[in-house]
Structure 1
Amino acid sequence: MPKEIEAVVFDIGNVLIEWQPERFYDTVMPAEDRVKMFETIDLHRMNDLVDRGANWRDTVYATAEEYPEYRDMIRLWHDRWIEMASPAIDASVDVLRKLRMNFVPVFALSNFGIQTFEYAETVYPFLQEFDQRYISGYRGEVKPEPRIYEILEQNCGVAPDRLLFADDRQENLDAAAARGWNVHLFDGPEGWIERLKSEGLL
């Protein structure tokens, strides 16, 4: 018989806040130019460095200097970043708050830079409402590598098989499931709400 879920773990990007850099760039440059830029420069790898704890502005601006033809556009990853990390997914935020009202512990487990997270907190106050937060930039570890999951397990006081984790990336869920976590592939709030209801949490 399945064990009762004791805590819910949220990814943030594309679960609580939309994270769509390509969509943003399509609003500031022709789509074909955006495609070429992303093919030329591994901007997601640049972002991964930030998620691992590198300084946000320094990392973006240094990358911009490596590609003078795209310098101004790359700098927007810093200067207009909040437009890439928006809007909030209101139905998911509502779920987060309802879980807390039901006295279900809620944790954040997210790949996020230090400075980007501090900025996001000023725009999205709900990021301060988690019972515990495991943010990669502060930990120096990222999903789907195992160490950040291990850190959460060691600190949260809940057994792995009593955790339910929602993420939009299958590889992150696979890493959690391999450790015994219960997982949910987030492809919209409706399915997530139904999963939580089925677990008796909403």
Structure 2
Amino acid sequence: MRPDAVIFDIGNVLIEWRPERFYDAEVGEARRRALFAAVDLHAMNDEVDRGADFRETIYATAEAVPEFRAEIRMWHDRWIELARPEIPRSVALMRALQARGVPVFALTNFGVGSFEVARAHYPFLDAFDRAYVSGHMGVIKPEDEIYARVEADCGLAPERLLFTDDRADNIAAAAARGWQTHHFTGPEGWAHRLVAAGLLDEREAA
């Protein structure tokens, strides 16, 4: 069945999201390992993605762990360096779909404040036909509610949606609702999937 809309995750699909890589470069692998062992920074980020204040959440975590205060604050103060660069071919595929008249949505775990920072650096984030941002919705993937709310808002049946995400748990949750899915491991495979779905031809996906 040819999908009626395509839904992109953002982190590690359109923009690289590699916090560990950033910290390894800044403080060294040993210090980064100690930091991540002492503080669950990804859980902290989940709270931001649920709608908690970007700066307040990170700074409060930093104050609670003085040994790593400076490093934790970097998660806010230098956030865009954790979320870069864009993945050019994925962006090109997004634009090719829209040039074909295919509606393209985003479904992303992203904080309200961090998404505003990202928008300032990546103009293509303003090009989605609809953007479902967890921080504004108050719920994150892979919780079932977020997928249900996308369906209700866009008005399309689950089987008419094609969704790509780099996380297997997010894909599994969408597939359980009947969405067409693609586990993103790189833009080459995603390009092939879009061609197989009849949404792009080989030239457009190249």
Report TM bin, short chain.
Answer: over 0.9
Question: Alignment RMSD, CA only?
Answer: 0.5
Q: Is residue 162 from structure 1 mapped to residue 165 from structure 2 by the alignment? A: no
* Percent of aligned pairs with the same amino acid: 58
State TM-score, norm by structure 2: 0.96
The one of 24, 48, 52 equivalent to 1:50 is 48
User: 1:199 is matched with which residue?
Assistant: 197
In the TM superposition, structure 1's runs of 4+ consecutive aligned residues that sit over 2 Å from their partners are none
User: 2:61 is matched with which residue?
Assistant: 63
1:32-51 paired onto structure 2 within 5 Å: 32-51=30-49
Alpha-carbon distance in 2 for matches of 1:43, 1:155: 32
Alpha-carbon distance in 1 for matches of 2:99, 2:28: 45
Q: Is residue 145 from structure 1 mapped to residue 149 from structure 2 by the alignment? A: no
Alpha-carbon distance in 2 for matches of 1:116, 1:163: 27
The one of 94, 97, 102 equivalent to 1:96 is 94
Alpha-carbon distance in 2 for matches of 1:197, 1:158: 21
Alpha-carbon distance in 2 for matches of 1:47, 1:199: 34
CA drift at 1:165: 0.3
Could you tell me which amino acid in structure 1 is paired with residue 112 of structure 2?
Answer: I
The one of 63, 75, 79 equivalent to 2:73 is 75
User: 2:203 is matched with which residue?
Assistant: none
User: 1:136 is matched with which residue?
Assistant: 134
Instruction: Specify every segment of 5 or more residues in structure 2 that has no aligned partner in the other structure, as ranges.
Output: 201-206
CA drift at 1:4: 1.8
**SS of residue in 2 equivalent to 1:27:** helix
* Alignment size in residue pairs: 200
User: 1:24 is matched with which residue?
Assistant: 22
**SS of residue in 2 equivalent to 1:143:** coil
Instruction: Specify every segment of 5 or more residues in structure 1 that has no aligned partner in the other structure, as ranges.
Output: none
1:171-182 paired onto structure 2 within 5 Å: 171-182=169-180
CA drift at 1:142: 0.3
Could you tell me which amino acid in structure 2 is paired with residue 108 of structure 1?
Answer: A
Could you tell me which amino acid in structure 2 is paired with residue 28 of structure 1?
Answer: E
Alpha-carbon distance in 2 for matches of 1:155, 1:169: 23
**SS of residue in 2 equivalent to 1:104:** coil
CA drift at 1:158: 1.3
**SS of residue in 2 equivalent to 1:36:** helix
**SS of residue in 1 equivalent to 2:27:** coil
User: 1:117 is matched with which residue?
Assistant: 115
CA drift at 1:16: 0.2
